[in-house]
């Protein structure tokens, strides 16, 4: 590990990310003992999420220490990361020594674009799950997927479940359960529409129609990244 007394965890912070992809895991991971969580971007300027929340990076690519865990969140801005060699190179470099290489939501597509999911089982948001196969991964329709040292979370809210799994891996299940209790993470949603597995057909149809143009834009970016991997 980067420091025998402190685990170093890095969350990539980038423009137009979905803030809960980052802040959900951050809330869990920052509660872990002897842990330093870094919010990483190219500069220390405020980064604005897809819904307008401004978040302050704590370190840059140049000053970031070696990470024990690297995590890439998702969101619309993920499309541009897949063609950003500075970002992909940083992720590859940090992943060489990291104990866990992880993502939430469509951050897994960025890991795939970096060549880090070839031959691995992985998940992402349900609307883009099939795109993982284009990058050499095996798509798995589960909330959290572990394959060797890769841990990927599905869409947005799964980031909390994902992070509890990471804490359990790094510190043991007792500490993860303690954090879950302190957070009162005891979800009881008012509806059963949170997944295509439980939502009604009409809700699924509406949701797919709403996001179809963007999903096609994302698919084009994934195909472009996949073509680069084959060169």
Neighbouring C-beta atoms of residue 100, cutoff 10 Å? 20
| Alpha-carbon gap, residue 137 to 114, rounded angstroms | 12
What per-residue confidence (pLDDT) applies to 1?
44
What's the mean pLDDT when you consider all of the chain?
97
Estimate to the nearest angstrom the gap between the alpha carbon of 193 and the chain centroid.
22
Per-residue CA distances from 174 to 68, 106, 139 (Å):
20, 29, 30
Looking at the chain, how many residues does it have?
Answer: 231
Section 192-198 average pLDDT: 97
pLDDT at 4 over 60: no
Q: Are 102 and 67 in contact (CB under 8 A)?
A: no
pLDDT band at 5 (very low <50, low <70, confident <90, very high): confident
Which pairs with CB-CB distance under 8 Å and at least 24 residues apart come from 194-199? Answer: 194/157, 195/126, 196/126, 197/141
**What CATH architecture does domain 7-229 belong to?**
3-Layer(aba) Sandwich (3.40)
pLDDT at 33 over 90: yes
Active-site residue list: 105
Locate the domains of the chain by residue range.
Answer: 7-229
């Amino acid at each position: 590990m980067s420091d025998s007394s402190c685990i170093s965890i890095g969350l990539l912070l980038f423009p137009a990310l979905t803030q809960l992809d980052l802040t959900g895991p951050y809330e869990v991971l920052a509660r872990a003992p002897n842990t330093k969580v870094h919010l990483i971007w190219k500069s220390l300027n405020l980064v604005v999420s897809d819904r307008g929340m401004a978040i302050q990076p704590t370190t840059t690519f140049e000053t970031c220490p070696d990470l024990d865990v690297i995590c890439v969140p998702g969101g619309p801005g993920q499309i541009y990361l897949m063609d950003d060699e500075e970002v992909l190179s940083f992720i590859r470099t940090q992943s060489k020594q990291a104990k866990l290489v992880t993502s939430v939501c469509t951050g897994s597509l960025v890991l795939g674009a970096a060549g880090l999911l070839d031959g691995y089982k992985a998940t992402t948001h349900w609307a883009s799950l099939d795109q993982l196969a284009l990058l050499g991964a095996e798509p798995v329709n589960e909330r959290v997927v572990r394959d060797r040292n890769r841990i990927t979370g599905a869409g947005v809210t799964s980031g909390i479940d994902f992070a509890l799994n990471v804490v359990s891996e790094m510190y043991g299940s007792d500490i993860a359960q303690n954090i879950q209790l302190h957070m009162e993470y005891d979800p009881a949603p008012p509806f059963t529409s949170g997944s295509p597995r439980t939502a009604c057909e009409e809700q699924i149809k509406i949701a797919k129609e709403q996001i179809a143009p963007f999903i096609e834009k994302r698919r084009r970016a994934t195909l472009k990244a996949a073509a680069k991997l084959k060169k």
